[in-house]
Amino acid sequence: MSDSLLGLDEPPQPRDPNASGAYRVLARKYRPQTFSELIGQDAMVTTLGNAIKRDRLAHAFLLTGVRGVGKTSTARLIAKALNCIGPDGQGGPTIDPCGVCEPCRAIAEGRHIDVIEMDAASHTGVDDVREIIEASRYSAVSARYKIYIIDEVHMLSKSAFNALLKTLEEPPAHVKFLFATTEVNKVPVTVLSRCQRFDLRRIPAELLAEHFARVTQAEGFEAEPEALALIARAAEGSARDGLSILDQAIAHAGLEGEGVKAEAVRQMLGLSDRGAIRTLFGLLLEGDAPGALASLRGQYDLGVDPQAVLRTLLETVHAVTLAKLGTDANSGQSAEELKSLERWAAGLSFPALHRLWQLVLRGHDEVARAVLPIEAAEMALLRVIHASQLPDPGELARQIASGSVTISGGGAPAAAGPNGAAMPTSLGQLADYLEEKRRFQLATQVRDYLRPVRFAGTEVEFAAARPLPFDFIKELGAALKELTGTNWKLLCVDVPAQAMTLREEQAASEQAERDAVLASPMVAAAMEAFPDAELIGWSKTGS
């Protein structure tokens, strides 16, 4: 294989924090050299250990996970584990490579001739893969296995993947493939099916904080636990990202002659002070608009991003919800913060918390897109305050149903139906009368087709809203004579009637009633708080 394929990134160096020479960043210096140093991946280490002990090693491994969780480090550790010969030179594959034999040292230093690393991001073509295929036919020079580590394997072209398939399915016994990727969904299923897959988990913030504490101690610095917790949360499960942030924090502490302080980390990351956020959250719950806006402006003046404030408010709402559920507290939370969370959890219902989450989340998204971020953040907080005293949707529905919410502008009362022998006195009563007597088609036609002009006893004049069926008047007259025993005079006039049909009148009444419901202060506020909500199933009859 050509030298152009060698070198995925900076080759790992033997661990010696005090070694002389050029400074190496913490992410390189503290790269795990044994599986016991690989944090947060216990399940994978157990599986690999059992496979090695039972000699059930797959010919290809696929390591996937977010950035910085240890995919490449794990691949190198697997290469060590498979090729370790022990201090006496007689050992076999082991989950605990010695680190002192020649293969272990050579792999750690990135100079082992039989462990080849390739960055697929810069070697995507089929020719690069053909070099691997050709070289894989030859036995290892000095190691037990010839190992190919391909990072970001999803970057290979389709033709490169296709060229690799046959060799990947039936490789020579002395060859192992180790693939790493952050986007496993882009790897063809034909490749996935030929690999043993390990999904590396995000590293929990608690484990990261403990790891960072050991690193700062090894570097000869002191660090506040809260500062390390802030860095661990900002790392989002990535050891590499966290160590890069810690590197910056230690550099700042070195200039100041102090340890790593939580306040310095907040300023460095642009995070809002959690105490200030608790104050702001309390003001929101109290409905104190001037106080909340002043608190937000105070943090903004200190250089805190408005979006970061809303993001921390989201974290607070989430933490309160978890506290209400009774889950274990986050190790990075102070006693004061825990006390506040418990108090809010006792006073807020789940619907209220869900509403708060939706309102703050909507504000966070608006600020992210806003031309004026601080103004957008202020409007978002005012929206939260405006909705803070609203009942939850279920309670709101109960209030509307019980009539405790006053709604103006209701439609006209429904026409009274005929009472026994009484004759219909309006077109509406006529339709109801026909329906009561089970003449449903005629009742529907009266409602849909006729606009009233004059209704006097048994003389009815109407205009047609649409062309009438040919024998409609004849059938209606015969039905009324049969039902009432009286001849009816039915006349369709050509003079346009101003009135609506009964169906049009009903639709207009329901629309007016719906508009009145939406215009009521409580419902209007609820619709503003829940922009995707709809008013459905509402009518005067409650159907």
Query: Is the confidence at residue 400, as pLDDT, over 80?
Result: no
Choice between 343 and 268, residue whose per-residue pLDDT is larger: 343
pLDDT at 462: 87
Contact (Cβ atoms closer than 8 angstroms) between residue 200 and residue 61: no
The answer to whether the beta carbons of residues 67 and 47 sit under 8 Å apart is no
Q: What percent of the chain has pLDDT over 90?
A: 8
pLDDT at 419 over 50: no
Q: State mean pLDDT over 54-63.
A: 87
Alpha-carbon separation of residue 288 from 51, 89, 275, 281, 469 (angstroms): 62, 74, 17, 10, 66
Confidence of residue 378 (pLDDT cuts 50, 70, 90): very high
Name the residue type at position 26: L
Q: How many CB atoms lie within 10 A of CB 470?
A: 8
Q: Which residue(s) pair with 62 in the sheet?
A: 179, 197
Task: Kindly give the pairing relationship between strand 196-199 and strand 146-151.
Answer: unpaired
Q: Where is mean pLDDT largest: 4-13, 17-26, 299-308?
A: 299-308
Structure tokens at 268: 């460095």
Give the integer Cα–Cα distance in Å for 160 and 180: 16
The residue ranking higher by pLDDT, 10 or 506, is 506
Three-state DSSP class for 299? Answer: helix
Averaged pLDDT, 58-77: 88
Three-state secondary-structure class, residue 498:
coil
CA atoms within 13 A on the CB side of 10: 11
E strand spans, 300-458: 450-456
Given a contact cutoff of 8 angstroms between Cβ atoms, the answer to whether 306 and 374 are in contact is yes
The span from the CA of 197 to the CA of 184, in Å, is 10
Please, are residues 76 and 13 in contact by the beta-carbon 8 Å criterion? Answer: no
Q: What is the DSSP letter of 197?
A: E
The yes-or-no verdict on residue 275 having pLDDT over 80 is: no
Per-residue tokens: 20: 């002389």
pLDDT tens digits, 284-298: 988 888 999 999 998
Does position 496 have pLDDT exceeding 50, yes or no?
yes
Contacts of 520 (CB under 8 A, 6+ apart): 405, 406, 407, 408
Residue 295: exposure state from Cβ atoms within 10 A (0-12, 13-18, ≥19): buried
Tokens of 162: 């296709």
Token pair of 400 as six digits: 């509307």
* CA–CA distance, 228 with 245 (Å, rounded to integer): 10
Residue 530 in tokens: 């829940």
Span 74-87, average pLDDT? 89
Map out the domains of the chain with their CATH numbers.
3-199 (3.40.50.300), 205-269 (1.10.8.60), 274-386 (1.20.272.10), 415-519 (3.30.300)
Which residues, in sequence order, are CB contacts of 144 under 8 Å at separation 6+? 82, 83, 85, 93, 103, 174
Eight-class DSSP state of 502: H
> Burial of 290 by CB count in 10 Å (0-12 exposed, 13-18 middle, 19+ buried)?
exposed
Q: Which helix (H) or strand (E) holds 116?
A: strand 115-119
pLDDT at 189 over 70: yes
Q: Which of 423, 425, 470, 429 is nearest to 446 (CA)?
A: 429
- What is the model's pLDDT at position 124? 82
416 Cβ neighbours under 8 A, 6+ residues apart: 429
186/64 Cα distance (integer angstroms): 11
Which of 527, 497, 502 lies closest to 411 in space, CA to CA? 502
Residues 533 and 526: their CA atoms lie apart, in Å, by: 9
pLDDT score, position 375? 92
Pick the more confident residue, 412 or 263.
263
Q: Which two tokens stand for residue 455?
A: 């209704």
Distance, in Å, from the CA atom of 275 to the CA atom of 273, rounded to the nearest integer, reads: 5
- In this structure, how many other beta carbons lie within 10 angstroms of the beta carbon of residue 114? 21
**Segment 507-526 mean pLDDT:** 73
Mean pLDDT of 466-470: 80
Q: CA 332, 335, 336: angle at the middle one, nearest 5?
A: 110
Considering just the CA atoms, what is the radius of gyration of the chain in Å? 38
Q: What are 95-115's pLDDT values in tens digits?
A: 888 888 988 989 888 888 999
230-265 per-position pLDDT tens digit: 888 888 788 888 888 888 888 877 555 567 888 778
Average pLDDT value for residue range 383-400: 64
pLDDT confidence bin for 521, thresholds 50/70/90? low
Q: Which two tokens stand for residue 510?
A: 């329901």
3-state secondary structure of 321: helix
